[in-house]
Structure 1
Amino acid sequence: MIYQGFAYIYDHLMEDAPYDDWITLIEKAIIAYHPDVRKILDVGCGTGAITLRLAEKQFDVTGVDISEDMLTVAQSKLADNHVQSTFLLQDMRELTGFDNAFDLVTICCDSLNYLENEADIQSTFSRVYTQLAAGGLFIFDVHSVYKITDIFPNEFFAEQDEDISYIWKSYCGEHQNSIEHDMTFFVNQDDYYVRYDELHYQRTYSVEQYSAWLEAASFEILRICGDFDFNQTPTSTTERVFFVARKK
């Protein structure tokens, strides 16, 4: 999924997202499994919310995203906060060309769920493995099957204010454990409203399937936890699943 006009209103829609909880979980994983982490590759970085927070903690962070518009917003955000980072336009399925290996690769905010099929995920895991230094960590999160099949379908969200109004509908996708988000936005620009339409597709798989793909890519699975709780094993009603793996 390549965000277009959506990139410029994404932060408004996500202003209540628990980004600090992502950082807390990442830091716990670093302390537990690789205290020497310095270089981080933030894949699917979007508008840089996670990248910014990691850079503020003095990590050397490179952000990668498939959307040029998202990266433009991210660069502006870090500049406004007087924080430096490198941003590159790349597809997570084709990560390549980095000069040095990374200590940690992250794919946060369910970005992995935007990949369309199993081959895409397997390719991404393989590429991540290649970019990591020996013993490097790979941390990512995904929507659970429960969230995709029981929470999202037929959800309807709407908001109206002076700057941005939107209608957001979610319904089951064509494939098993997939969801489509149909969104219409009206953005106030110089006293008239511009309409943007976006259709976003997400797909997930079982914990067992993600684990099998990680192991096939030669990762060692260190921890699987749920809903931002580093010590919580995922349950049947967990909505977000986190994986921590290490390059063998």
Structure 2
Amino acid sequence: MSYQRFANIYDVLMEDAPYDEWLQFTKEKLASHQKPQILDVGCGTGEFILYLKKAGYDVAGVDLSENMLAIAHDKITAQGLSVRLFEQDMRSLENIGTFDVVTVFCDSLNYLQTEADVQKSLREFYSVLQPGGQLLFDVHSIFKMESIFKEQTFTYDSEEIAYIWQSFEGDHPFSVEHELTFFVVEENGLYRKFQEWHEQRTFPIEDYERWLKDAGFTNITIEADFSKKVTETSERIFFTARK
């Protein structure tokens, strides 16, 4: 699979992602910072980095995927911008400097499958933050995993790309396995089929809050669906914490 094909597929999957709302949420939380340096963890193809850069922020990105970072680099340089990109696992951030803010949006933390991995990542975020720095992240709610994703099928069809997205109950509590089957038009007009598998897991809000405290964070704020009160049917849980 070429970088460009993967980028097109990823961006199709994310075309309805609330980038504007993530940016507004970030702006509201960083109102007290003067020109903060931001590390975007799980930056993927760099779409949110572009939003942050165009809003005037100094941003760096980190992702585990070499392919994703290659795409991000191409997208960023095509806009005449320059961003430091690091190929690293969020569970082990090394030699990337320190930052005023760490953002981990688009449920990146939900790709971690164990409690220990989440805890280690939170400690790593703490380690790369300046004193007084802020961590902003979101995760899928238990409600979303159990009632919206599990045993559901989603489809998409356009002239160039179609996909079938099936979600099944995972092996862990509050986890799902996503099976995505893509059909992409080739230059000869025929479709090429390929598949992706993704596993996601979430944890109770109380666990995330306890792990944040254990990592050393204070001033923890918990909201849902972009600055709303958490309810039983909230879909995306937001955490803000300070070092």
Q: TM-score range by the shorter chain?
A: over 0.9
Pairing of 1:11-160 with structure 2 (within 5 A): 11-31=11-31, 34-98=32-96, 100-160=97-157
CA contact (8 A) 2:4 2:71 kept: no
Q: CA deviation at 1:11?
A: 0.6
Change in Cα spacing, 1:85 to 1:38, as seen in structure 2 (3 Å) is same
- Which residue of structure 2 aligns with residue 207 of structure 1? 205
State how far apart, in whole Å, the 2-side matches of 1:239 and 1:109 are.
12
Q: CA deviation at 1:7?
A: 4.3
CA contact (8 A) 1:166 1:183 kept: yes
Aligned partner (choices 217, 233, 238) of residue 242 of structure 1:
238
State how far apart, in whole Å, the 2-side matches of 1:104 and 1:112 are.
16
Change in Cα spacing, 1:37 to 1:132, as seen in structure 2 (3 Å) is farther
State the SS of the aligned residue for 1:128. Answer: helix
Scaled by the length of structure 2, the TM-score of the pair is 0.94
Scaled by the length of structure 1, the TM-score of the pair is 0.92
Q: List alignment gaps of at least 5 residues for structure 2.
A: none
State the SS of the aligned residue for 1:196. Answer: strand
Q: CA deviation at 1:208?
A: 0.5
Matched AA of 1:181: H
Change in Cα spacing, 1:206 to 1:37, as seen in structure 2 (3 Å) is farther
Q: CA deviation at 1:6?
A: 4.4
Q: CA deviation at 1:162?
A: 2.2
State how far apart, in whole Å, the 2-side matches of 1:86 and 1:30 are.
21
Change in Cα spacing, 1:56 to 1:159, as seen in structure 2 (3 Å) is same
Q: CA deviation at 1:78?
A: 1.3
CA contact (8 A) 1:56 1:83 kept: no
Change in Cα spacing, 1:117 to 1:96, as seen in structure 2 (3 Å) is same
After superposition, what is the alpha-carbon deviation per residue over 1:124-175, rounded to whole angstroms, capped at 9, x for unaligned?
Answer: 0011111000000000000001100111112111222221111100111011
State the SS of the aligned residue for 2:211. Answer: helix
Matched AA of 2:116: A
- Which residue of structure 1 aligns with residue 9 of structure 2? 9
- Which residue of structure 2 aligns with residue 167 of structure 1? 164
Counterpart check, 1:233 vs 2:229: yes
Q: Percent identity?
A: 46
Q: May I ask how many residue pairs the two structures share in their alignment?
A: 240
State the SS of the aligned residue for 2:30. Answer: helix
Across the aligned residues of Structure 1 and Structure 2, the Cα RMSD in angstroms comes to: 1.6
Structure 1 residue runs of 4 or more that deviate by more than 3 Å after TM superposition = 3-8
State how far apart, in whole Å, the 2-side matches of 1:179 and 1:137 are.
29
Change in Cα spacing, 1:24 to 1:201, as seen in structure 2 (3 Å) is same
Matched AA of 2:63: D
After superposition, what is the alpha-carbon deviation per residue over 1:21-56, rounded to whole angstroms, capped at 9, x for unaligned?
Answer: 00000110111xx42252110000011111111111
State how far apart, in whole Å, the 1-side matches of 2:229 and 2:65 are.
33
After superposition, what is the alpha-carbon deviation per residue over 1:179-208, rounded to whole angstroms, capped at 9, x for unaligned?
Answer: 111001011121232222111000001110
State the SS of the aligned residue for 1:9. Answer: helix
Q: CA deviation at 1:63?
A: 0.6
Change in Cα spacing, 1:152 to 1:240, as seen in structure 2 (3 Å) is same
